Amino acid sequence: MNRSQHKKPSIKNSVRQVGAKQQLKKTPTVDMFAKSQAAVEKYEIYLDVERNYSEDTVKGYINDIEDFAEYLKSENFGSLLSITKNNIPRYYLSSLSTNGYKKKSIARKLSSLRTFYRFLVAEGMTSENPFEEIETPRADKTLPKVLYKNEVDAIFNSIDTTTAIGKRDMLIMELLYGSGLRVSELCNLEESNIDYSNKLIKVFGKGHKERYVPMNDHTIKALKEYIHVGRKEILLKKELEDPKKLLLNKKGTCLTTRGVRVILDNIISKTAESVHVHPHMLRHTFATHLLDGGADLRSVQEMLGHSNLSSTQIYTHVSSEQMKKSYMANHPGQNRK
């Protein structure tokens, strides 16, 4: 590493930077703040209606924008609509780094703000995108965490399928691990999306892109037991009108993504496993185990609904790492003295 990268900024440079920041400070009118808030609300509708993003995705974008708006306000830099191509975006990214944000999180926030301002420019609400020329920090490459097959077996074996809730929980696990669905896709499933004769599930992914994913015999069994027995029992107890969505919570209403996370936590608490399992971890595991079993990369890409093959290739690295760990742990030559 170049030694110059470790040089501390001189007092003169620090004073110059503070002076530059002071020059950028503004006192926007209340009207400008109101217009900025209206712009955010308009963008939120655009993401939800026109882009058809999931609730969690929209929330993530809006949170990133509101964080930046709060930063502008706290530093007296103005409003979302008043900044231009100056150093404010760089100051913001620097503050995120100082406050301990990882490169991946900073890159995500930068992406959120860049696309927000592109929308504003397209709508004529501002004349330029202050984030357009800001370089995205290279995120540290980390492999997604996956479960080993014995851990997956332990989770399935812990579910009591004699109850209506247990039948539902088994189906959730089968769909997340057996078909690799995103949690938002899982919660939006309807019974009409199931094609039993071809063993396929019609899924609407990011941007409402339609794809078909296969389901195995275990998933089909779990579906039938839940739909014909468990789901009816949940609805009968609550005497509610049948909602369109396939998966229900114990109150008989549509299951949310947060509800799925709570359910997984409850399932794991009944096992001897100490690992924390989130819905996307099961999707990672689905892809990795497919590749372990000899599936080709293109097929896995289609099942996951990835636009780019590079998004799927990360699982080849995970599969290799698991293979090496298994070898190191089990090959008798490793224990030779």
pLDDT, tens digit (0-9, with 9 covering 90-100), for 49-107: 888 888 888 999 999 999 999 999 999 998 999 887 678 999 999 999 999 998 889 99
**Nearest by Cα to 114 from 42, 61, 60:** 61
pLDDT confidence band for 4 (50 / 70 / 90): very low
Residue type, 178: G
Q: Which of 16, 237, 270, 280 does the annotation list as catalytic?
A: 280
pLDDT at 258 over 80: yes
- Whether 280 is catalytic: yes
> pTM above 0.75?
no
Residue whose token pair is 């339609």: 210
User: pLDDT (tens digit, 9 = 90+) per residue, 272-324?
Assistant: 766 789 999 999 999 888 888 888 888 888 889 887 787 777 777 666 655 55
- Among 208, 52, 46, CA closest to 123: 46
Classify residue 78 by its DSSP letter: -
Q: Which of 61-75, 134-148, 157-171 shows the lowest per-residue confidence on average (mean pLDDT)?
A: 134-148
Q: CA-based angle 147:163:198, to the nearest 5? A: 65
Question: If you average pLDDT over residues 123-148, what whole number do you get?
Answer: 85
Q: Please indicate whether residue 298 is annotated as part of the active site.
A: no
User: Exposed, middle or buried: residue 248 (CB in 10 Å: 0-12, 13-18, 19+)?
Assistant: buried
Catalytic residue among 26, 85, 104, 206: 206
**Rounded Cα distance, 218 and 170, in Å:** 10
- d(C-alpha 175, C-alpha 110), whole Å: 33
Residue 118: active-site member = no
Q: E strands, the chain, where?
A: 194-195, 200-204, 210-214
Q: Based on the residue annotation, tell me whether 306 is a catalytic residue of this protein.
A: yes
